[in-house]
Amino acid sequence: MTELTTHTSLLLDAGNSRIKWAWHTAQGLRGLGNVARNEAGLNELCAASHAAYGHPIRVIVSNVAGQAFAQELTAHVIKLWGVQPEFPVAQPSAYGVNNGYSDPARLGTDRWAALIGARAAGNKASCIVDCGTAITVDTLTAQGEHLGGVIMPGLGMMHAALINNTEGISFQTTMQALDMLPFARDTAQAVGSGALYAAVAAIDRIARDITARLVIDSYLITGGNAEQIAPLLEKPYRHEPNLVLQGLAVIAGLAK
């Protein structure tokens, strides 16, 4: 087992589909992993984390998975480690970022943490794309002003909408195997490429509309489908897979 230090805290990014985690140590983020967001995933998360670093001093969670999940996670963490998880929420202004929402607390903590992570990493005016269950695009000025953003269905949600609402469409596919194919020759390819075309076209159009109003210095992309989508985009997006966790570390006072 890796030696535990007094600076070791467990950071969790609980999304709609998956949970990502990292340990914040004196050496930075270590022991990263991710699991499906279900009871089996929670058990796997706790077991893998415990095997890597033992007993966390703190557990800090970005949670967009709802109150029921927060209660389930809290029970797991208290039972295993005797630690009360911390669930930060978006603030009107903190960590060099001014929240652009008219009701600041309604901004998802994942988006809030991503903004803070981008700001803390020294990025100036930024376009931040998160490609998860939903795809979000947020704009941050060089002065730390969050101008707001866009939310749209992610790739899996687009697939599900067709499967669940259209007669005769039923298929199994892996997201990694999909590509943009204008001449798809079966239903799986047609739905998969259609979702990709929709996501890529929307993100590109949003980025063009943003840059018509603001000079952007950094294009950042994160989330489970980022590696698939980023190469297809017009702008030079930098893949930051741990952006939410990096921001969460700042919120928890573990990093600057």
Residues annotated as part of the active site:
110
* 3-state secondary structure at position 71: helix
Closest CA to 38 of 72, 2, 8: 72
Task: Specify the amino acid at residue 41.
Answer: G
Within 10 A of 73 (CB to CB), how many other CB atoms are there?
A: 23
Q: Find the largest Cα–Cα distance for the chain.
A: 57
Closest CA to 148 of 103, 118, 202, 88: 103
What is the Cβ-side half-sphere exposure of residue 152, based on CA atoms within 13 angstroms?
16
Within 10 A of 149 (CB to CB), how many other CB atoms are there?
A: 22
**206-244 in b/e burial notation, b at 16+ Cβ within 10 A?**
bbeebeeebebebbbbbbbbbebbbebbebebeebbbbb
